[in-house]
Amino acid sequence: MITVENLTKSFPGKGDHVLALDGVSLSVPAGTVCGVVGPSGAGKSTLARCVALLERPDRGSIRVEGVDLVALRGRELRDARRRIGVVPQGDSLLRQRTAAGNVALPLESAGMAAPARRARVAELLDLVGLTNKAGSYPDQLSGGQRQRVAVARALAASPSVLLADEPTSALDPETTGSVLAVLDRVRSELGVTVLVVTHDMAVVRRICDDVAVLEAGRVVEHGKVLDLLTQPGSRITASLLPEVDQAGSTPREVGQYDVVAEVVLVGFAAVGALLPEAAHRHDVELAILGGGLTRLGETPVARFKIGINGERSERALSWLAERDAVIRRAPRDIGGLAA
């Protein structure tokens, strides 16, 4: 469990100080994955560097299992650093050491004896699926493999918290999958709490339980991904869900329906059966005009634009709403005018 409280950090800039973090508070429950997203310049990197204990905040605290790490210095600080595993942004492996040598570094710092170290390194390389690459140097590995070695290194000293700073920024979608799969295993098999700073919504979709949106140094939204999804006015919903306005849903077509709305459905049952059932029960014609299906972790999630025709169209819509589908009315007038 990691708790960030009221973290504030400014940098000297031209004339004025630049406030990179403005009272950021964030709590990640043990064994969950929390994503920090936001536009560039929002303070994501600064937050990551503070949590990695590479940057000292002006104010605020960073607690791991209740212990504040911000004020530590010297040996205590070095020991504290091993309680937070860090997967830094970009290439961070020692290029003159093998994969195994890189993973061993935190263990050497911790003073572990060579035989125990070798065993632990083997275990970690197995966890990230790179046992056969132990003797390879970073330049002989692919980007995704290097990143998995970095994850293994971050986990070497058995930290309870893992921080990953843009772990997928330099990777193609396929390799991104392999790195995210490893991060997911870290949480599920080791019970490590993961904080992942990213601009890539695919990361949030794939592995995050919680998400915090950072804007201009402040947390403007924070909660469970699935909860935020159904919350009206949430800023990340749009970027997490499939687009609705696709070719085919022209205003002309929209105008043919009595009711046009956007629905968000969460979960297997809702996605699979709710729309046909609504049509059947209320004897209406229900058509999907746009949108699509995606997956948040294991949960299927859909956003559709639907058009309904029939006497009981409104009734069908409220029936959907009663079953936890999130309904947003489309601006009917515009469709009507165009038709």
Binding of another protein by 79 (CB under 8 A): yes
| Minimum gap (Å) between residue 136 Cβ and another protein | 10
Contact criterion met (CB below 8 Å) for 161 and 85: yes
Out of 33, 157, 179, 197, name the contact with another protein by CB under 8 A. Answer: 157
Does 321 interact with another protein (rule: CB under 8 A)?
Answer: no
Q: Kindly tell me which residue out of 3, 31, 72, 97 binds another protein, with binding defined by CB under 8 A.
A: 97
Sign of CA dihedral 264, 270, 275, 277: negative
**How many residues sit in the footprint of another protein (CB under 8 A)?**
34
- Cα separation, 177 vs 158, in Å, equals 24
Q: How far is the CB of 290 from another protein (least distance, A)?
A: 43
Distance set, CA 227 to CA 51, 211, 262 (Å): 26, 10, 18
How many CB atoms within 10 Å of residue 136? 16
Give the integer Cα–Cα distance in Å for 339 and 334. 9
Minimum CB separation of residue 200 from another protein in Å reads 19
Q: Which of residues 110-129 bind another protein (CB under 8 A)?
A: 110
- Among 170, 193, 169, 168, which residue's Cα sits nearest to residue 181? 168
Q: Which helix (H) or strand (E) holds 67?
A: strand 67-68
3-class SS of residue 142: coil
E strands present in 73-217: 84-87, 161-165, 193-197, 210-215
- How big is the CA angle at 144 (ends 170 and 48), to the nearest 5 degrees? 55
Element (H, E) at 222: strand 218-224
Q: Out of 19, 53, 128, 266, name the contact with another protein by CB under 8 A.
A: 53
Stretch of residues binding another protein (CB under 8 A), selected from 95-103, 172-180, 206-214, 280-288: 95-103
> To the nearest whole angstrom, how small is the minimum distance from the Cβ of residue 70 to another protein?
15
Q: Is 88 in the site for another protein (CB under 8 A)?
A: yes
Q: Does 50 bind another protein (CB under 8 A)?
A: no
Name the nearest CA neighbour of 257 among 323, 329, 321: 329
By the rule CB under 8 A, 182 interacts with another protein: no
Q: Does 167 bind another protein (CB under 8 A)?
A: no
Residue 178 contacts another protein per CB under 8 A: no
Is 65 among the residues that bind another protein (CB under 8 A)?
no
Comparison of 154 and 302: residue with beta carbon closer to another protein: 154
CA pair distance 121, 98, nearest whole angstrom: 12
**133-152 mask for another protein (x: CB under 8 A)?**
----x-xx---------x--
303 binds another protein (CB under 8 A): no
Determine the interface stretch with another protein among 85-93, 220-228, 256-264, 316-324 (rule: CB under 8 A).
Answer: 85-93
Nearer to another protein, 98 or 198 (CB): 98
Q: What tokens does 77 get?
A: 């600080």
Q: Which is nearer to another protein, 154 or 289 (CB)?
A: 154
Sign of the Cα pseudo-torsion (39, 45, 47, 52, in order): positive
Q: CA-to-CA distance for 7 and 211, rounded, in angstroms?
A: 17
Binding site for another protein (CB under 8 A): 52-54, 78-82, 84, 86, 88-98, 105-106, 108-110, 137, 139-140, 150, 153-154, 156-157
